[in-house]
Amino acid sequence: MGAQGDPFEFGLSTEGGPFAAGDLAAAAAATAHRLDWVLWYEEFHAAPPLPAVDAVRQLGARPVITWEPWHWRGRCPVRMRELAAGVHDRHLRWWAAQLATAGCTVYLRFGHEFNGHWYPWSPASGVSPQCFVEAWRHIHDVVSDACDTASWVWSPTAGVPPGPALEEWYPGERYVDVIGVDGYNWGASQAWSRWVQPDELFGATLAEITTITADKPVLITEVGCSEAGGSKADWIGALLDYLTTRPEIEGLIWFDHDKETDWRITSSPETAAAMATALRRTTSRRPWGSLR
């Protein structure tokens, strides 16, 4: 990626996905920062998204595919035990063969936020850490046998009630290339939520990760802030200041969606200006050299 002092890595996930070049360009322009990453979502049995990867390359960014082990229609899960047992190996090999022709590194973020309670690959649906790890390792091995350009992003979520230790979910050093962490300041947007500062949101999870691995780069793979309950502009500044106190963190990908609440950077002129200002003064403290 670059040398010490390079600009903080910055990416986006937008509602239009990787083909929404106009949306991505507009959001990037509002921050006055180049796009280093574009993240989007694919259901498990989708076709290998080579056109999407190419669209991201055309923007000069790197692709992060959040590969969700379910079928979106009907919200039907792909069982972890089936994945570990090789039931879906033909599909995995198809993805691997196609991704091998992409001409760039493709970052695969499989089964994100596994330690939450809202996805069918979480403990709330009866998935144990052991079962998740077995599935991850099998998928990794099948894909890696035919594709040496996939980089694996293991991505827990921050700010959730205590559950199984993250160490139990970790597939192992050989199976993970990048640590991704998701976290949201829901503010007062929901009946159950409250305003939280960045260190309160991310601190415990990042501390736990440092006990698991000290060698993997960390990327905030999803982050957003509500307008309700505090100053979103101030929170963005505090977030960037906080992240740069953590030398292992190389950047963030903002969840630029108007979904449960308006997470977008451009939800107000003040928030867009705050992100632009924060990115201007923020530099990474460690190179990503191994990920280029």
Give the tens place of pLDDT for each residue, 62-120. Answer: 999 999 999 998 889 999 999 999 999 999 999 999 999 999 999 999 999 999 999 99
Contact 216, 177 (CB under 8 A): yes
Count other Cβ atoms within 10 Å, centred on residue 283.
12
Q: In the structure, what pLDDT confidence band is assigned to residue 8 with cuts at 50, 70 and 90?
A: confident
Given a cut of 80, whether residue 7 has pLDDT beyond it is no
Q: What are the two backbone dihedrals, phi and then psi, of residue 77, each rounded to the nearest 5 degrees?
A: -80, 155
Q: In the structure, what pLDDT confidence band is assigned to residue 6 with cuts at 50, 70 and 90?
A: low
Instruction: Give the length of the chain.
Output: 292
Give mean pLDDT, residues 39-51: 97
Q: In the structure, what pLDDT confidence band is assigned to residue 247 with cuts at 50, 70 and 90?
A: confident
Residue in the structure block whose two tokens are 């972890």 = 80
Distance CA 43, CA 278 (A): 34
Looking at the domain that runs over 10-291, which CATH code has it been given?
3.20.20.80
Rounded alpha-carbon distances, angstroms, from residue 34 to 49, 176, 251, 279:
23, 27, 12, 10
How much is the pLDDT for 283?
59
| Beta strands, E only, the chain | 9-14, 37-43, 62-68, 70-71, 76-77, 106-110, 150-154, 178-185, 218-225, 249-256
CA angle at 259 for the pair 105 and 266, rounded to the nearest 5°: 75
Given a cut of 80, whether residue 136 has pLDDT beyond it is yes
Contact 274, 280 (CB under 8 A): no
